[in-house]
Amino acid sequence: MDQADPFGFVGLTYDDVMLLPGHTDVIPSEADTTSRLTKRIQVATPLLSAAMDTVTESRMAVAMARQGGLGVLHRNLSIIDQAEQVDRVKRSESGMVTDPVTTTPDATVAEVDALCGLYRVSGLPVVDGQGVLVGIVTNRDMRFVSPFEKSTTLVRDVMTKMPLITARVGVDPDDAIAIFAQHKIEKLPIVDDAGRLSGLITVKDFDKSEKYPNATKDAAGRLRVGAAIGFFGDAWQRATNLLDAGVDVIVVDTANGDSAGVLDIIRRLKSDSAFADVDVIGGNVATRSGAQALVDAGADAIKVGVGPGSICTTRVVAGVGVPQVTAVYEASLAARESGVPVIADGGLQYSGDIAKALVAGADTVMLGSLLAGCDESPGDLVFVNGKQFKNYRGMGSLGALQTRGEKTSYSKDRYFQSDVPSDDKLIAEGIEGQVPYRGPLANVAYQLAGGLRQSMFYTGARTIPELKEKGRFVRITAAGLKESHPHDVQMVVEAPNYRR
């Protein structure tokens, strides 16, 4: 009996290949970086932030959506906390808030102050027990309440009472802008014929729409957001809570997406009519057969990457994985036949790697270490020898897997270790480290998208589909890799998009 060849193909990663330049009549500013995230959702910039607890919470998700990408909220949170973060993103910017946060006349100024801080708003509508609008309380109303009086001062004593400037349900956006200009107000409550509050429009939302024209939004004008779930235990309850909070994309996020539990929950989500408006991403896989299994289960996109992340140790702990360029290419062979987009997750070090991932067959890329150093990522700045860093860890690291006091780790089942009886029996597949501080996400995203546009210029592609069609690889040697980076000089000033 012939033995199967264990060395069936060579695995290549980003440093093993380079894109060939070609004839071009494109300049970088003309390149269109719009791409498909899922079967139904497009993004203006093909960037996603990873579902990691040192990368993506609500602040990062908001910033990513504003830059034309998407943030995926990590699941190392309780169900309530993760759903609340979805709610914060959906409320952060919208054409009209259909379910605005409100307060009552009997609430205290301290309670309103806490709500405003939680949702990053400057004021709240005040409603009675029947939902009828009776006033509005803003920073201006609370400004002169002494700190020691806030816990005893009631909203009814400081709020601006009715009548207020309001608009009826169904008001045209242009009419709303005219009302803002005429009356010099910042918040416009929307009421029905009975005076009940039905929504809220803020002038800041119009300002944000002009400032972030490429933002990723849903049909109602709200920022889109994704959130990760598992397949075990509370996964279904987590999914339903996320649905109620308004999530746009659910990511079934595990270390091995080609497993029965992952495929079962994807089928269940896709067959439930309640989730008809929510797209489901499955992952992670690294082979053609794994991608085909997710396609057959009904996934709206496939996440590819087993072990390429800078903080991942799966390939040395388990000896399993596929170098990322080959993994993306193999997965794309299955996905493209069904029109299912591919997400290249992990292993990207430079903006040029984004273009390589797209040419290999991806439609978007998911970033961890490149974004963990941004202002918007969770965690505080750390100073080491006078330089600024932020903490970054793999979701398979001991810190992410271990129980912390009364808090359970919700990451254990990502690595199929929910049945491990104690923390000292965990098998870690990641490390904890630090990455250089990189400043605001807007600057980092600009450099990454700019590098992609440069790639499109060199290959003569005006769009991402053209880049995927025209792009060709050349394999390089170790000497070629050395030649590709700055060499034989003492570097004095680093470029903003290049770090040694």
Q: What's the mean pLDDT in 23-44? A: 96
Q: CA–CA separation, 328 vs 357, rounded Å?
A: 7
Segment 339-380, tens digit of pLDDT: 999 999 999 999 999 999 999 999 999 999 999 999 999 988
Is 421 a member of any domain? no
Q: Are 279 and 301 in contact (CB under 8 A)?
A: yes
Positive or negative CA dihedral for 439, 445, 448, 451?
negative
Q: Are 85 and 285 in contact (CB under 8 A)?
A: no
**Among candidates 122, 32, 21, which has minimal Cα distance to 462?**
32
Residue 278 tokens read as: 């929510």
**Whether residue 353 sits in one domain with residue 282:** yes
Give helix 351-360 / helix 324-335 axis angle, nearest 10°.
40
**Whether residue 124 sits in one domain with residue 222:** no
Q: What is the pLDDT at residue 470? A: 94
Segment 117-130, tens digit of pLDDT: 888 788 889 999 88
Residue 323: how many CA atoms within 13 Å on its side-chain side? 12
Which DSSP helix (H) or strand (E) runs through 435?
strand 432-436
Q: In the β-sheet with 187-191, what is the strand arrangement from edge to edge?
A: 167-168, 187-191, 197-202
**Whether residue 451 sits in one domain with residue 353:** yes
**Whether residue 368 sits in one domain with residue 220:** yes
**Among candidates 256, 309, 305, 306, which has minimal Cα distance to 432?**
309
Residue 374 falls in the annotated catalytic set: no
Q: What is the pLDDT at residue 404? A: 57
**Whether residue 165 sits in one domain with residue 303:** no
pTM value is: 0.87
Q: What is the pLDDT at residue 3? A: 61
Q: What is the pLDDT at residue 214? A: 94
Q: What is the pLDDT at residue 407? A: 59
Residue 395 tokens read as: 């979701």
Q: CA–CA separation, 118 vs 120, rounded Å?
A: 6
Q: Is the pLDDT confidence value at 424 over 80? A: no
Binding-site residue ranges for K(+)? 307, 309, 312, 483-485
Query: What residue numbers bound the domain in which 333 lies?
Result: 17-92+216-380+441-484
CB within 8 Å of 92: residues ≥ 6 apart: 58, 62, 120, 223
Binding-site residue ranges for IMP? 310, 345-347, 368-369, 392-396, 429
Q: CA–CA separation, 97 vs 189, rounded Å?
A: 10
**Whether residue 125 sits in one domain with residue 69:** no
Q: Check 75, 238, 414, 453 and give the catalytic one.
A: 414
Q: Is the pLDDT confidence value at 286 over 70? A: yes
Which DSSP helix (H) or strand (E) runs through 73?
strand 70-73
Q: What is the pLDDT at residue 95? A: 64
Is 185 a member of any domain? yes
Residue 106: how many CA atoms within 13 Å on its side-chain side? 2
Number of domains in the chain: 2
Is 344 a member of any domain? yes
Q: Is the pLDDT confidence value at 62 over 50? A: yes
Q: What is the pLDDT at residue 171? A: 81
Is 330 a member of any domain? yes
Last residue of a domain, one of 186, 206, 226: 206
Strand 160-161 versus strand 133-138 pairing type? antiparallel
Q: Check 312, 374, 438, 453 and give the catalytic one.
A: 312
Q: Are 388 and 381 in contact (CB under 8 A)?
A: yes
**Whether residue 87 sits in one domain with residue 141:** no
Give helix 288-297 / helix 324-335 axis angle, nearest 10°.
40
Q: Is the pLDDT confidence value at 138 over 80? A: yes
Residue 116 falls in the annotated catalytic set: no
Is 404 a member of any domain? no
Last residue of a domain, one of 142, 177, 206: 206
CB within 8 Å of 362: residues ≥ 6 apart: 46, 304, 328, 332, 342, 343, 344
Is 499 a member of any domain? no
Residue 220: how many CA atoms within 13 Å on its side-chain side? 19
CATH number, domain with residue 195? 3.10.580.10
Q: Are 282 and 303 in contact (CB under 8 A)?
A: yes
Is 399 a member of any domain? no
* pLDDT tier, 1 (very low <50, low <70, confident <90, very high otherwise): very low
Binding-site residue ranges for NAD(+)? 253-255, 305-307
CB within 8 Å of 210: residues ≥ 6 apart: none
**Among candidates 410, 498, 391, which has minimal Cα distance to 454?**
498
Residues 113-120: contacts with CB under 8 Å, at least 24 apart: 113/142, 113/150, 118/88, 119/88, 119/91, 120/88, 120/92
Q: What's the mean pLDDT in 227-235? A: 92
**Whether residue 189 sits in one domain with residue 226:** no
Q: CA–CA separation, 428 vs 223, rounded Å?
A: 35
**Whether residue 118 sits in one domain with residue 75:** no
**Whether residue 353 sits in one domain with residue 333:** yes
Binding-site residue ranges? 253-255, 305-307, 309-310, 312, 345-347, 368-369, 392-396, 429, 483-485
Q: How far is CA 428 from CA 137, 228, 318, 395, 412, in A?
A: 50, 20, 10, 9, 10
**Whether residue 252 sits in one domain with residue 322:** yes
**Whether residue 253 sits in one domain with residue 167:** no
Is 497 a member of any domain? no
CATH number, domain with residue 31? 3.20.20.70
Q: Are 17 and 325 in contact (CB under 8 A)?
A: yes
